[in-house]
């Protein structure tokens, strides 16, 4: 195992733990992007560039956009409900 | 159940799991010790039998194209589900003024950001097309290139112009791209059945390894998948964006 591979594994472990420890969904989404980049490095240094390419576009573009938009919709609905109560 | 009993149960289960894990991990092959046969076979025959230099793409779009067909329709089906669930429900209305949605303001939506987005859109589209059509030569292919292609219009939204994004990728266009791509990949398989008698067997000339038009059906299949993935992601994102930006759960009069 090379130094790069050990570093990539450590980065995945650290950022993966970070995703779990971030309790606020908005922050969690951002940390999830970092986790995706770490996974991309992992796939790349383990000689799987095809998987790395898929991972980087999904984890940095595909998934966060959907999660962030869903969060926006949920907070919007909560605000509307609160306004109705008042 | 008391706390004590629960802890006891957890202890028994955790100990059992630990023993099984240790037995399993002890039997793992050493790091980098590959014992599969399939990989060696594909590495040996990929270039000579299919004239593709990226064997991962050769696997996806030729050797095991049937698996890819299933995966492709998983994506197609899930996007269909998104469209169905996020449809405009009774009692929900689109915002009356669409211009307001176009200029939805957030900190940092500056002119510089807009110029950057305008520069990025063609660059992302060129990169996406490059990745799609070079799948058989270098890492990449229809799926990766398709997501990059779809993120081109998304950049316009990130710069604060949602309706511009809708104009660049109108609903009917991206929906038909999704459907045509999915059907196109299935048709590549059917062509194999029609012209050479086996589903997904190559029916095109192989060409010279390393050339753009080589590896038989792989470029064609890659373009079809690229079209499908571009459409699928744009459809899913626009459904989410419609929900977050345009659709309100109350009629417009009540919003005043």
Name the residue ranges covered by the structural domains of chain A.
3-85
In angstroms, what separates the C-alpha of B19 from chain A's closest C-alpha? 23
Q: Which candidate from B32, B140, B249 shows the least CB-CB separation from A53?
A: B140
Q: Can you give the pLDDT at residue A14?
A: 94
Nearest CA in chain A to B59: A50
Sign of CA dihedral B128, B134, B136, B137: negative
pLDDT mean across residues, chain A:
87
- For B207, the token pair is 């060409």
What are the pLDDT digits (tens) for A59-71?
888 888 888 888 8
Which of B1-15, B156-170, B192-206 is the most confident on average? B1-15
Distance linking the first and last C-alpha atoms of chain B: 53
Nearest CA in chain A to B131: A53
| Candidates B91, B139, B141, B238, partner chain A, best to mutate (most A CBs within 10 A) | B139
Interface contact A57-B243, CB threshold 8 A = no
What are the pLDDT digits (tens) for B44-74?
887 887 788 888 888 888 888 889 888 889 9
Contact call for residues B166 and B223 (beta carbons, < 8 A): no
| Candidates B71, B75, B144, B158, partner chain A, best to mutate (most A CBs within 10 A) | B144
In angstroms, what separates the C-alpha of B139 from chain A's closest C-alpha? 5
Cα separation, B36 vs A68, in Å, equals 41
In this complex, is the C-beta atom of B139 within 8 Å of any C-beta atom belonging to chain A? yes
- pLDDT mean over B192-212: 81
What are the pLDDT digits (tens) for B6-34?
999 999 999 999 999 999 999 888 887 88
Bridge partners for B247 per DSSP: B94
Q: Can you give the pLDDT at residue B87?
A: 77
Q: Which residues of A touch B140 (CB under 8 A)?
A: 50, 53
Q: Can you give the pLDDT at residue B9?
A: 93
In this complex, is the C-beta atom of A27 within 8 Å of any C-beta atom belonging to chain B? no
- For A56, the token pair is 């980087």
Distances (CA, A) of B6 to B10, B13, B63, B111: 6, 11, 51, 60
DSSP per position, B181-203: HHHHHHHHHHHHHHHTSSTT---
Interface contact B147-A73, CB threshold 8 A = no
């Amino acid at each position: 195992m090379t130094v790069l591979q050990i570093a990539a594994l450590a980065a995945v472990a650290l950022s993966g733990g970070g995703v779990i420890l971030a309790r606020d969904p908005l922050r969690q989404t951002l940390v999830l992007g970092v986790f995706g980049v770490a996974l991309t490095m992992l796939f790349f240094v383990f000689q799987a560039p095809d998987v790395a390419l898929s991972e980087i576009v999904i984890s940095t573009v595909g998934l966060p956009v959907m999660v962030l938009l869903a969060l926006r919709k949920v907070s919007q609905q909560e605000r509307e409900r609160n306004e109705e109560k008042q | 159940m008391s706390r004590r009993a629960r802890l006891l149960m957890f202890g028994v289960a955790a100990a059992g799991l630990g023993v099984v894990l240790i037995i399993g991990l002890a039997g793992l092959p050493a790091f980098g010790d590959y014992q599969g046969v399939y990989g060696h076979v594909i590495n040996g025959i990929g270039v000579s039998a299919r004239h593709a230099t990226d064997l991962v793409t050769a696997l996806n779009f030729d050797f095991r194209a049937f698996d890819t067909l299933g995966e492709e329709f998983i994506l197609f089906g899930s996007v269909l589900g998104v469209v169905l669930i996020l449809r405009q429900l009774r009692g929900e209305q689109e915002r009356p003024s669409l211009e307001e949605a176009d200029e939805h303001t957030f900190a940092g939506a500056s002119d510089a950001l807009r110029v950057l987005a305008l520069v990025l859109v063609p660059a992302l589209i060129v990169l996406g097309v490059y990745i799609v059509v070079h799948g058989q030569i270098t890492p990449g292919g229809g799926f990766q290139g398709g997501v990059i292609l779809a993120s081109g219009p998304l950049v316009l939204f990130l710069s604060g112009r949602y309706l511009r994004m809708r104009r660049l990728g109108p609903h009917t266009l991206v929906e038909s791209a999704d459907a045509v791509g999915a059907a196109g990949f299935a048709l590549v398989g059917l062509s194999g059945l029609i012209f050479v008698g086996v589903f997904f067997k190559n029916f095109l000339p192989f060409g010279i390894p390393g050339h753009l038009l080589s590896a038989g059906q792989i470029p064609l299949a890659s373009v079809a998948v690229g079209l499908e993935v571009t459409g699928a992601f744009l459809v899913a994102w626009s459904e989410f964006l419609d929900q977050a930006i345009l659709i309100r759960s109350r009629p417009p009069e009540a919003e005043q």
